[in-house]
Amino acid sequence: MNGMLTAAIVVSIVLVALIVILGLKYRDLKTQTEIAKKDLQERESIMQKEALIKAKEALHNEREQLNEDERERRREFAQIESKLSKREDVLENKIQEVTDKEAELDRMKDQLIEKEDFLAEIVQKQTVELERIAGLSAEEAKKMLMEQLKSDLAQEQMQLIRENEAKIREDALEKSKEILSTTMQRCMMDQVVESTVSVVSLPNDEMKGRIIGREGRNIRTLETLTGVDLIIDDTPEAVVLSSFDPVRREIAKLALEKLIQDGRIHPVRIEEMVEKSREEVEKKIMKEGENAALDMGIMGLNKELIKNLGRLYYRTSYGQNVLKHSLEVGHIAGMLAAELGANVYVAKRAGLLHDIGKAVDQTQEGTHIQLGVELASRYGEKQEIIHAIEAHHDDVTANTIEAVLVKLADAISAGRPGARRDTLEIYIKRLQKIEEIVNSYEGIKQSFAVQAGREVRVIVQSEMFDDLASQKLARDIAKKIEDELDYPGQIKVTVVREFRTTEIAK
């Protein structure tokens, strides 16, 4: 019992001691915490004061900087204001000067108006006096002066034109002669002259009866199958075949020659020979077309165009073989293009095809130009080739150099001596038209178309024309002939003005 009490007391004492110790430690810890808190507060106060001091210093520095900037701007504003003030003074001075000058100009204007009125009055008086002295009104004098000026200007103009024309004509003539002579020397083409009839020789006159046949059945069969007229007359040992279609005439000629050589002449044999001759002619047409394209160096032509080219071998125009003419035009156009730096291939191709329409113009409606354009378009020719075909007779204006060269080559080929054969009627009409054009001008005494229509000589009334007027008349006549007349080659216009003076010595 006592032991337990003692233990309890000891435990109590220990607990009290622990409580006292813990209390002392708590007090010390609380004291330390309060001291630390107080130190922290003091440090925070010190830091706040320092930060406040720094902020005040920064604010002070900013204020000082702003004040300095403000003072600088004020100085700049003061300088600008001073400059503006000076400029304003200068502008006011200039405005004053301008005002003074305007006033001076107004004063001078008033003086000029007064002087103009004075001068107008003087001019009016002088005009009246001049009209009285000259006996002419102002309008009449002005008209006379204008007529004189026109006359003087016309003479000077004609003089300049004559000088320039002489120089241009001389240069152009030399150059054209050089180009054309070179071209013509390089182009040698045969000219075949044909007509609308062919003659077949017979071994004897008895053959005529066999060709006619019993009751004329043989000749009727041959004419029906070929579309050609056979003329059997008193011409010894000859039969004449007549047709405007040269292909049909050639077929009939070949068939008749084969029949004569074979000796068997009856309707069935005639039909066989006509068919055989037609096949030969078709082959000949194709061969001639291919040879023409090969000779010209033209590749890629459509077969139908080649065939139509071959048909031109049997076609003539004014006695000139059209295929030979087309080849010649192609060669001349190509050489001219080479001389002038144009497209040689286009010029040659267009020259070869320019008359392709003549292959079908006897069987289809339309001019050979329209038909040629249609054929070229249908078989894939380029627009520049089609344009040259269309323009070679001025149906449209030639707007490419190749088209112009084809037109020129066509005129050269057709116009050189011996190339074509005109009918007497066309020749006479052309001469009459030339003289009619010349005689339409006033002051013409006589006119003569000479050298087969290659030159026209005009005799004028000398009192109505001087040298310059004669030159102008010749130019006007030539221009009118170009516009109104179609002709091969060129026509020279010569104006003759004769002046005679006669005196009698007594």
How much is the average pLDDT of 346-366? 86
How much is the average pLDDT of 381-395? 88
pLDDT recorded at residue 172: 64
Q: Comparing 63-67, 122-126, 181-185, 414-418, which segment has the lowest mean pLDDT?
A: 181-185
How much is the average pLDDT of 384-395? 87
Is 178 or 506 the better-scoring residue by pLDDT? 506
Dihedral (CA of 242, 247, 250, 256) sign: negative
| Number of domains making up the chain | 3
Per-residue pLDDT tens digits for 227-275: 888 888 777 778 888 877 778 888 888 888 888 888 888 888 888 888 9
Give the closest residue to 229 by CA, choosing from 257, 206, 186, 196.
Answer: 196
* Half-sphere exposure (Cβ direction) of 314: Cα atoms closer than 13 Å: 26
Task: State how far Cα 317 lies from the chain centre.
Answer: 32
Per-residue pLDDT tens digits for 187-232: 444 444 445 667 887 888 778 888 888 888 888 888 888 888 888 8
HEC readout, 189-228: CCCCCCCCEEEEECCCCHHHHHHHCHHHHHHHHHHHHHCC
Considering the domain architecture, whether residues 269 and 317 belong to the same structural domain is answered as yes
Q: What is the mean pLDDT of the chain?
A: 81
Give the closest residue to 282 by CA, choosing from 241, 316, 248, 321.
Answer: 248
Per-residue pLDDT tens digits for 52-69: 888 888 888 888 888 888
403, two tokens = 């088209």
Determine, yes or no, domain membership for 134: no
Considering the domain architecture, whether residues 390 and 486 belong to the same structural domain is answered as no
Considering the domain architecture, whether residues 469 and 396 belong to the same structural domain is answered as no
CB 302 within 8 A of CB 270: no
How much is the average pLDDT of 441-468? 82
Which of 376, 398, 415 marks a domain boundary?
415
Give the closest residue to 212 by CA, choosing from 259, 254, 247, 144.
Answer: 259
Give the closest residue to 193 by CA, choosing from 68, 317, 339.
Answer: 317
pLDDT recorded at residue 173: 62
Per-residue pLDDT tens digits for 431-449: 888 888 888 888 888 888 8
**Backbone torsion region of residue 471, taken as left when φ is above 0, otherwise alpha when ψ lies between -120 and 50, otherwise beta:** alpha
- pLDDT of residue 457 exceeding 80: yes
Number of DSSP helices (H) and strands (E) in the chain, helices first:
14, 8
Distance CA 271, CA 109 (A): 110
CB 396 within 8 A of CB 390: yes
Determine, yes or no, domain membership for 163: no
354 three-state secondary structure: coil
- What stretch of H or E contains 139? helix 138-186
Considering the domain architecture, whether residues 41 and 62 belong to the same structural domain is answered as yes
pLDDT recorded at residue 383: 92
Domain that holds residue 484: 424-497
In this structure, the dihedral spanned by the alpha carbons of residues 9, 15, 19 and 20, taken in order and rounded to 10 degrees, is: 50
pLDDT bin (cut points 50, 70, 90) of residue 338 is confident
Determine, yes or no, domain membership for 481: yes
Which of 415, 440, 470 marks a domain boundary?
415
- pLDDT of residue 306 exceeding 70: yes
pLDDT recorded at residue 22: 81
Considering the domain architecture, whether residues 385 and 455 belong to the same structural domain is answered as no
In this structure, the dihedral spanned by the alpha carbons of residues 277, 282, 288 and 292, taken in order and rounded to 10 degrees, is: 170
Considering the domain architecture, whether residues 397 and 292 belong to the same structural domain is answered as yes
Determine, yes or no, domain membership for 292: yes
pLDDT recorded at residue 183: 55
240 three-state secondary structure: strand
Considering the domain architecture, whether residues 24 and 76 belong to the same structural domain is answered as yes
Give the CATH number for residue 251.
3.30.1370.10
Distance CA 188, CA 178 (A): 17
Give the closest residue to 288 by CA, choosing from 249, 323, 255.
Answer: 323
Determine, yes or no, domain membership for 49: yes
How much is the average pLDDT of 150-163? 71
Buried b (16+ CB within 10 A) or exposed e, 150-164: eeeeeeeebeeeeee
SS3 content of the chain, % helix, strand, coil (to 5): 70, 5, 20
Determine, yes or no, domain membership for 191: no
| Bridge partners (DSSP) listed for residue 447 | 458
How much is the average pLDDT of 408-431? 66
DSSP string of 80-96, one letter each residue: HHHHHHHHHHHHHHHHH
pLDDT recorded at residue 425: 60
502, two tokens = 């006669």
pLDDT recorded at residue 420: 52
pLDDT recorded at residue 342: 86
> Across the chain, which distance is largest between two alpha carbons, in Å?
215
Give the CATH number for residue 465.
3.30.300.30
Determine, yes or no, domain membership for 277: yes
- Phi–psi pair at 457, nearest 5 degrees: -110, 130
Distance CA 457, CA 447 (A): 6
pLDDT recorded at residue 193: 40
Considering the domain architecture, whether residues 456 and 392 belong to the same structural domain is answered as no
Distance CA 269, CA 265 (A): 6
pLDDT bin (cut points 50, 70, 90) of residue 185 is very low
Considering the domain architecture, whether residues 249 and 337 belong to the same structural domain is answered as yes
Distance CA 268, CA 262 (A): 13
- pLDDT of residue 419 exceeding 60: no
Distance CA 343, CA 347 (A): 6
Per-residue pLDDT tens digits for 468-491: 888 888 888 888 888 888 776 678
How much is the average pLDDT of 148-175? 70
Give the closest residue to 333 by CA, choosing from 344, 320, 318.
Answer: 344
Per-residue pLDDT tens digits for 29-60: 878 888 888 888 888 888 888 888 888 888 88
Give the closest residue to 231 by CA, choosing from 251, 246, 249.
Answer: 249
Considering the domain architecture, whether residues 406 and 384 belong to the same structural domain is answered as yes
Considering the domain architecture, whether residues 304 and 393 belong to the same structural domain is answered as yes
Which of 102, 121, 136 marks a domain boundary?
102
Q: Read off the DSSP letter of residue 235.
A: S
Determine, yes or no, domain membership for 128: no
pLDDT recorded at residue 1: 59
Considering the domain architecture, whether residues 409 and 437 belong to the same structural domain is answered as no
pLDDT bin (cut points 50, 70, 90) of residue 454 is confident
